């Protein structure tokens, strides 16, 4: 969900994607009955001044979030709620949370854009990279997206 806060600005809130009607909320029932609700996502660190027009995003790795926050729905009942890097998670959990491979019928430009989003941590980070390089997403061709994704993937950690 997109949240517009006059003090903090706009931000995204991650929640469970289930039927959510005013009278009967399936999502609320599942969340109430579940012992653990977690979010697996890329950890993004904002670099730059908060009031600056350009902020750079740096990805610090994949995380499993179990602590609740204004930006995510998460909980842990009966266990200590901690955010753990997925590299430190049990093997079966890390294997289960590997992103799916793009469909074979997906065009190379869209697949490259999806790889860029995963590598950089989201759409806003991709937009920031394009602005930094003076590129326009509308003017880019599929082969440009593929070349940019390959260039980003070659950068050492």
In the block, residue with structure tokens 């992103």: 99
Return the SS3 of 90.
coil
pLDDT in tens, 91-144: 766 666 555 555 555 688 888 888 888 888 888 888 888 988 898 888 888 889
Alpha carbons within 13 angstroms on the beta-carbon side of residue 87 total 5
pLDDT in tens, 30-88: 778 888 888 888 777 766 666 655 666 667 778 888 888 877 888 888 777 778 887 77
Cβ atoms of 33 and 24 closer than 8 Å = no
Nearest to 120 by CA among 26, 70, 39, 57: 57
The crossing angle, in degrees rounded to 10, of helices 108-120 and 142-154 is: 30
Which range, 1-5, 36-40, 143-147, has the best average confidence (pLDDT)?
Answer: 143-147
């Amino acid at each position: 969900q997109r949240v517009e806060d006059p003090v903090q600005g706009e931000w995204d809130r991650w929640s469970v994607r289930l039927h959510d009607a005013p009278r009967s909320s399936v999502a609320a029932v599942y969340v109430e009955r579940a012992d653990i609700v977690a979010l697996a996502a890329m950890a993004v660190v904002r670099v730059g001044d908060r009031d600056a027009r350009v902020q750079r995003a740096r990805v610090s790795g994949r995380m499993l979030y179990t602590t609740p926050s204004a930006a995510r729905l998460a909980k842990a009942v009966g266990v200590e709620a901690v955010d753990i890097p997925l590299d430190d998670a049990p093997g079966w959990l890390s294997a289960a949370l590997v992103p799916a491979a793009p469909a074979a019928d997906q065009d190379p430009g869209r697949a490259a854009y999806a790889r860029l989003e995963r590598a950089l941590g989201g759409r806003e980070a991709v937009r920031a990279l394009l602005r930094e390089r003076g590129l326009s997403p509308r003017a880019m061709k599929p082969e440009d997206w593929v070349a940019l994704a390959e260039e980003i993937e070659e950068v050492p950690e």
